[in-house]
Amino acid sequence: MTSTSLIEIHLEAQGAKPNFRYDIIQPLVHGRVPIEGVSLTVAGSMETAGQFDNPKFKNGDFGLLDTNIGDILPAIDAGWDMVALPVLIKRKPIYNYIWVRADRGIETPKDLEGKTFATAIWGVVTTYARGMLKQFHGVDHTTFKWIANVDGPWPLHKPVNVEYRTDKKPQWQRLLDGEVDACSGDIIAPNAWDILEASPHIVKRLFPEYRQMHRDLRRDHGIVTPTHMMAMGGKLHRENPGLSRKLYDAFEQSREIAIADARGDGSSYNLIMDARELMRDQMKEMGDIYKHGIAANRDLFEMTLDFYEDQGQTSRRLSIEEVFAADTLDT
């Protein structure tokens, strides 16, 4: 890397549109965080990277990719030429995503054993749901039967009782229709939440106290579950020693600016009344819960790698050193 030439890096995204809507990444994509020696271009808000169609991602011939952790880990396991940066740009606590029928005698997590679950796809939210039900509530998730809409791009390395449907019905609708006993996974349609919360005679949350449980998980285990992480092309990583750390530092600076925006009642969270006060109270109660890096998230990363091996979504138990760029291991 020389001082006279810029490294051209394209930041792409694979996920729900629009891209890069997370507050913690806004300062970077808006050009408020310059990166020495780097020219960063950002994909359009409605562009899809084509992670599973374009061979450049498997071959490592790309720059940066915002994508699901549930696709990064199996890709690395399968030999794709990429590394991860410990940059957790999107987090989703998951206890609120587990819903059950109100008429099936499900009162405790253990009552789920032997029941039928619906999910849309084998995503990271469902992975965390299964893993946490086992680790923190003693549930044998291997007894579940699954109905899913999509046979994902990655092979399952352990047997799973799953039936794939072609009707593409959302998992929460299957629950409302009585096809299944429970559901997990992303629920992103606003009307879905309205319907579920207005139907207590039909469905209910498995964990009514989910908001406190998310705080307990942070307090007791340092965990706020993420869904998206940043991947870096293997060729770019190998050809530019030290670049991965420089990029990590830029994402961390972007996150710090975004928090300052929120605490100063600036440009963030303008749809939420008293957003500054809510952010102040959150920082006081739980601290800096969105910090990137290995040290702040080691227990989370180790747990995630355990879950993926236990559920057969990777062929073996990956290590932190295999997953993350070497220059970021001391973050």
Question: Residue 323: CB partners within 8 Å, gap ≥ 6?
Answer: 72, 73, 76, 83, 84, 301, 305
DSSP 173: H
CA distance 242 to 35: 13
Which pLDDT score is estimated for 267?
67
The pTM of the full predicted model, rounded to 2 decimals, is 0.95
CA distance 117 to 295: 35
Cis peptide upstream of residue 18 (ω within 30 degrees of 0): yes
Average pLDDT score over the chain: 94
Could you read off the pLDDT of 88-142 as tens digits, one per residue? 999 999 999 999 999 999 999 999 999 999 998 888 999 999 999 999 999 999 9
The structural domains of the chain, ordered by start, are: 7-91+226-328 (3.40.190.10), 95-221 (3.40.190.10)
pLDDT value at 2 more than 60: no
E-strand stretches of the chain: 7-13, 38-42, 64-68, 82-91, 99-101, 116-119, 145-148, 162-164, 182-183, 203-205, 226-233
Token digits of residue 171: 């998992």
Could you read off the pLDDT of 205-227 as tens digits, one per residue? 999 999 999 999 999 999 999 99
Could you read off the pLDDT of 137-173 as tens digits, one per residue? 999 999 999 999 888 889 999 999 999 998 989 999 9
Angle in degrees, 0-180, between the axes of helices 210-221 and 294-310, rounded to the nearest 10:
110
Which pLDDT score is estimated for 35?
97
Taking residues 79-88, what's their average pLDDT?
98
Taking residues 324-331, what's their average pLDDT?
98
Token digits of residue 111: 């009552």
Which pLDDT score is estimated for 269?
62
Question: Residue 279: CB partners within 8 Å, gap ≥ 6?
Answer: 259, 262, 263, 269
100 or 4, greater pLDDT: 100
pLDDT band at 192 (very low <50, low <70, confident <90, very high): very high
pLDDT value at 302 more than 90: yes
